[in-house]
Structure 1
Amino acid sequence: MGYTAIPILEQIGDFIGIFVKLDDRFIGAPWLTYYRIRVSIPVDKPIKQRMKLLKWDKTTCWVNFKYERLHTFCFFCGMLGHSYKFYLRARESAIPVEQYPYSADLRVGGNRGPREIGDQDYRRGSRQRLLIRGKFWIPGPPDPMSTLSWNCRGLGNPRTVRDVVDMVSRKQPDFVFLMKTKVGREHAEQIRVTIGFEGLFYVNNNGLSGGLALFWRKNSTTRLLSYSTNYVDIEVTITGHPAWWMTCYYGFSERTRRTKSWDLLRALAAASNLPWTVMGDFNDLLFQHEKRGGNSRPNSLLRGFGDALEDCGLAQLPMAGYPYTWEKGNGTVNWIEERLDKVLVTNEWRNIVPHAKVTNLRTRKSDHSALFLGIHESLGTSGTGRRGF
């Protein structure tokens, strides 16, 4: 029995809702990129986006769904009958609209995507104004030489992989750094192919823990300098512009090994004179206000990390979005949030990349947010006025 046999299509229809009818024009047709069925969709459950099928060789594949004549549905919860613009949980959520789990892509032919919402959507007035006021969210062109960094806490979960692919598709970074991958290199290689990048350097995981993966879009821009289980060092080169040095970093999580993390940063700082940026999960705080909940961070740890950055000539870039990047015990009295993920730069790097911006990207799966380092407008040496690339 093939995957396009009528019983299989009926099972797919019953998975979505209740199977009603198969488009007769597809009966007996050769393999096509899609098949059409009519389904009665339950209104008390979120609409289905895809379904996993088991192949003859015991491997699995995904079948994605698109809908015709689909009624208004919520990009936040997936329920029919209301828009995310008038859904209280969406309005109170800290998740940006572009990260909602549903989108207009579920409609055949697509539709206008989500946009930022605000009080203007709730003002009284004509129906026409209510629908068109506010700013529409439209994906812009990719930021040149931008970087995405995320402590994903395991790439073995398909949802985590989907989050990575979604962020790469939306933000279009040139580099992607993933920490605590917890899978073999072969799995990371599959992700590289999926996101369409040319390069991958992988630091093997230790059993069910650890693992670093750095992906880059173009081989011509990247040269590997050094690596360990805590970092990957590369030189970034673009024709006609100053080269710089980027360290993708994961600090020891144990407090007893903090000094070792700080000494590692000092050793790295002595390795090159290039403009330098360090990005990743440092497992360290600079200030008490970078933590909410639980006991205060010992001042000795704050001073130790701060002294290490001063010795290295590094400063922390401001971060847009939610102020914390890690959480524990969400929804309980023991809820703790901290800003463990950071982007640090030297003055030399800041001078050649004056418009760099760090954005906190909230994620659904990991207890860590992702950081996006976007390089906007121009890039060049001070006073050169070079055009962006």
Structure 2
Amino acid sequence: MKLIVWNARGVNNDDFLSHAWGLVCTHKPDVLILLETKFDAGRAVDLRKQLNFSENKVIPARGLRGGICVFWKSTLDSLYYTEDEHKFHSLFKFHNHQPEVLITVHAPSIPRQRHSFWNDLKSNLPPSSTPWLVVEDINEVTSQGEKRGGRAFRSSYCRDFNNFTDAAGLMDLGTVGNPYTWENARYGRRVIRERLDRAITNAAFVEVFPQVKVTTLVRKYSDHNPILISLCDDPVRGPFPFRCKEVWLQHDRFKYFFVSHWKATDQCQPLLIGRNKFLSSIPYWNTNVFGNLNMQKKILLARLNGIQLSLANRYSRFLVNLEYDLIHELNLIYKKERVIWAKKAGINWSKFGDFNTKYFHTLAKARKSRGKI
């Protein structure tokens, strides 16, 4: 399942159709969203037929500004649709076994309208359980790293946008490829590049589509790059490069294992020999000593269930003490899991150690999808 979002900056030019047709033939999107179309509904119907889409919705342009058009294939069901001058909300059903997905698109180019838009969305958020994808040309950057050239970034420019994403619990999916999605078509020192087009989503969406990936496509016609959003991609498979795990430090036998295996008898190259000895032994230690946390958790939960069933029939001081010890072991496993997922999410565990594991899990999925080649 693929979506393409493209600020085409007008589609009435004769050259547009060949570029759009090449984009559709190459990437075969199920949904194509065009921003700044500067056309009416009649032109959209012709374009839908020429690009071989089944349905379309149009927000007409106001003079020389605005205009949004969304095309989609017959394999999708649009269950709900609402719009105003600069945005639309559409509830799509992609597959029978998946929940509905709410897609919001907007493209206001005037700062006052953008700030009003963020405040309106902030006061009318969908339920957190609804998978929500917001795709947009936000016409502003969120950090200095998203801008090259021109005036320096100021955090006040995107304050309303950041307040909205914080209130809605949305995360930026990042992008693969060119980090900038807009260029001002100048040369030398006058060139300005910015990341204006992006996709942001909530945790429910990442849970449904853990392999979601955003790719910046080649800029050919407009001054904006199209962005491709792939919802279902091939899963990442091993072999994965070896990584030391911070959670090993919490095991009481790891220090002894590390010292005994890193110590080398050859004094000429002690560091290299000790390193190789440690790396060759750590996979066995990880599997057989540290163990599989999921399996340990299942065993502890089964034992706790049996103990609690026995205590329901008769009291036993021994079983009460054993239950207390097993719950303590279970809590240690949950703590280790939080360390693992915080590490995968690229977050400082010592600073955010008490945060929810599901939060780390979601961030790690998004980070994993951005890390694909």
State the TM-score, normalized to the length of structure 1: 0.57
CA distance in 1, matches of 2:222, 2:198: 16
1:304 shift after superposition:
3.0
1:365 and 2:224 correspond = no
1:239 is matched with which residue? 96
Which structure has more relative contact order (CA 8 Å, sep 6+)? It is 2
Structure ID, larger Rg: 2
The partner residue of 1:334 within 185, 190, 194 is 190
1:159 is matched with which residue? 15
CA distance in 2, matches of 1:268, 1:291: 30
The partner residue of 1:323 within 158, 179, 199 is 179
1:344 shift after superposition:
0.4
The partner residue of 1:314 within 170, 174, 188 is 170
> What is the aligned length?
235
1:253 shift after superposition:
2.1
What is the percent sequence identity of the aligned residues? Answer: 27
2:28 aligned partner, one-letter code: Q
Deviations 1:2-33 (A, max 9, x none): xxxxxxxxxxxxxxxxxxxxxxxxxxxxxxxx
1:160 aligned partner, one-letter code: F
1:353 shift after superposition:
0.3
1:311 shift after superposition:
0.8
Q: Secondary structure at the match of 1:206?
A: coil
CA distance in 2, matches of 1:168, 1:310: 34
2:265 is matched with which residue? none
CA distance in 2, matches of 1:255, 1:296: 17
1:60 is matched with which residue? none
1:273 shift after superposition:
4.7
Does the CA contact (< 8 Å) of 1:150 and 1:280 recur in 2? no
Gaps of 5+ in 1: 1-143, 383-389
Pairwise mapping of residues 16-165 of structure 1 onto structure 2 (< 5 A)? 144=1, 146-165=2-21
Cα distance change of structure 1 residues 220 and 373 upon mapping to structure 2, 3 Å threshold:
closer
1:254 aligned partner, one-letter code: I
Q: Which of the pair is proportionally richer in helix?
A: 2
1:307 shift after superposition:
1.8
State the TM-score, normalized to the length of structure 2: 0.59
Gaps of 5+ in 2: 236-360, 362-373
The partner residue of 1:212 within 62, 68, 86 is 68
1:179 is matched with which residue? 35
1:348 and 2:201 correspond = no
Does the CA contact (< 8 Å) of 1:214 and 1:232 recur in 2? no
CA distance in 2, matches of 1:320, 1:336: 20
1:234 shift after superposition:
1.1
The partner residue of 1:224 within 63, 80, 92 is 80
1:156 shift after superposition:
0.6
The partner residue of 1:254 within 106, 110, 115 is 110
Pairwise mapping of residues 259-338 of structure 1 onto structure 2 (< 5 A)? 259-270=115-126, 273-338=129-194
CA distance in 2, matches of 1:340, 1:253: 11
Deviations 1:296-327 (A, max 9, x none): 12211233321211111111002001010011
Cα distance change of structure 1 residues 241 and 270 upon mapping to structure 2, 3 Å threshold:
closer
Deviations 1:61-94 (A, max 9, x none): xxxxxxxxxxxxxxxxxxxxxxxxxxxxxxxxxx
1:168 and 2:24 correspond = yes
1:149 shift after superposition:
0.3
1:62 is matched with which residue? none
CA distance in 2, matches of 1:355, 1:377: 6
Does the CA contact (< 8 Å) of 1:353 and 1:378 recur in 2? no
Deviations 1:326-381 (A, max 9, x none): 111421422111101000000110111000100001222211110100123479xx
1:64 is matched with which residue? none
1:370 aligned partner, one-letter code: P
Cα distance change of structure 1 residues 219 and 374 upon mapping to structure 2, 3 Å threshold:
closer
Deviations 1:90-146 (A, max 9, x none): xxxxxxxxxxxxxxxxxxxxxxxxxxxxxxxxxxxxxxxxxxxxxxxxxxxxxx2x1
Does the CA contact (< 8 Å) of 2:80 and 2:90 recur in 1? yes
Deviations 1:183-208 (A, max 9, x none): 22111111100121110001111122
